[in-house]
Structure 1
Amino acid sequence: MNRIYFTNLIFLFFIVFGTVSCSTSTNDKIDATANETVDWVSQQFSNAGDWISNQYSNLLNNDDQDKLTASTKQAAATGEDQIWTSDDGDVKASIKVIKTESEKGDVSVKVPSGRLEKIPPLEMNGAPYRTLKNANVRSGPGTDFAVVDKINQDTVVVVIGKVQDKPWYLVGDGAVANGFIFEKLLEAIPDSENKMLAVAKLGNNSGIVQEEKVETEWLCRTIQQTINLADGKTQVEEVRACQGLDGWEIK
C-alpha cells in the first residue's frame, strides 16, 4: 500500500513539475515577443528627447514628457493644433502647426527577396493599422497579384505607405515591407493605443532581405510649442517634423 502511495506521489510530482516548466517556457517566449514589440513601439511613439527641448525635460517628469511629446506628434500627424497641461497643472502648452509642406524623393525600403513586385510610387505613412477583417497580403497593389500571406481580423501591421492613385497600402512589421493590403481592410490606430501594440511578423520564406529605392512623397510640418511655466514665464520653441518609414520624425 505504501509503495503504491509513494509511486502515485512521484507520478504527481512529475506532472506538476512538467506543467510548471512548460508554462514557464511558454511565458518566456511570450515575454520575449512582447518585449521586442514594445521596444519597436517605444522607439516610434515615446522618444521625447527630439520633440521637446532639454529645458523642458528638466522641468517635467518622464510621464509629462511623454504626454507633451504625444501631443506634439498628434499635431504633426493630424495637422491640428493641440493644448496640453502637465499632471500637476503647473505647466501648460499650446501646440500650433504653422506650416505644412510636401516633399518628394527616393527612399530605401527593405523587402524580402523575390516576394514582391516592383514597388510603385508611395505616399509615406509609417503608422500602425489594424485589419477590419481577414485579409490577403499580395505581392503587388491589386487583386491580380499573387497572395503571399493571409492575416486575421484585428491583426496589427505597419503601413509603410499608400500607393499613389490606388487604394492599396504597402505593409510590413516596422522593419521590412512584406506586401500590399486593400485600403478598406485596414483602419488607423489612435496614438492612445500605440504603446502596447503587438505588431505582426509577416512571413519571409526567402530569409533574404534587400533594399529597394522607392519614389516617395511625404509631408513635413513646422510646429510651434508655446509653453507657459509655473513662474509665469513663457518659452517658444519650434520643431520641424516629417513623415518617415518609422512614422513622424524630427528633421
Structure 2
Amino acid sequence: MKTVGIVCEGPTDFVILRSVIDTITGEKNEYRRIQPEQNVCGQYGNGWKGVWKWCQNHSEILAQYMKDAQPVLDFLVVQLDGDVSRKEKPVHCKCDSIKCDFRGISNPLMCDINSCPIVLPCQEHGAPVTGYISHLKGLINSLLNQSDDVCVAIPCDSLETWIVAAYDGLKNVEFVESPWEKIIAHGKSYHDIRIAGGKKRPVIFQRFAPIVCERWNKITKLCESARDFEECILKQFK
C-alpha cells in the first residue's frame, strides 16, 4: 500500500483516478486530494489552470512538501485532460514553432489571448492523442523539474473518454472530442445513470467507477492514454 497525492482538474477526476490506481496495482491505497482543494474555489481554483498554478508554485519545494505531508506521500499523480493541448493556447507558449515577443516575460496564464500569435492546432503537438500526451507530460514535467516521484496522467480527449470506452467500447474513442457533452450528458441519462442538468458531480462518477475498474483491460486496449497511465503507475510500485 502506498500513499498517493492527486493533483487533478476536478473532484470527479479524483474519484476515477483513485479507483483506477487501486485496480492497476491490486492494492487498496491511501489517497489525498491535493488539487483542487475541498473548496474548489481555493487558492488555485479548479480546472487545468489550477493544476498549472499548483505545479508552478510547488516546483522548488515538491520533495519537502511530500515529506511534510501527513501521511508522507509516496508519489504524486498529476492529471490534465488531453483537450487542454487541443484547445488552450497558453499551454503552447513554449513551443519552438511559436514566435512571440513576450515569451519569458509575460506569464502565459495572464497573457492577452486575443493578440496571441499561437494558432491551433499546434505544428508540434497537433496530432491527437500521441501529440497531446507528449506535449502535456512535457509541460508538467518542466513545471515540476522532472521529478521521479510524479506520475502524469493525460486522458484523451478527457477522463470521460475512459468512461465511454468502458461502457460503449467505441473504436477510436480518444478521437471523440468533448465526450461528456457529446455522449455522456447528451441525454437525461447514460446507461440508466441519471445526468441531472448535464452537470458533472462526484456522486455520478462514483457510480461510473466500478464499471471503469471492472473493464479496465478493455479501456487500455482502446485508449493509448490509459495504457500510458498504467505503465507510469506500475513503475511507481516496483
- Output the TM-score relative to the length of structure 2: 0.29
Mark the structure with the bigger radius of gyration: 1
Whichever structure has more strand as a proportion of its residues is 1
Whichever structure has more helix as a proportion of its residues is 2
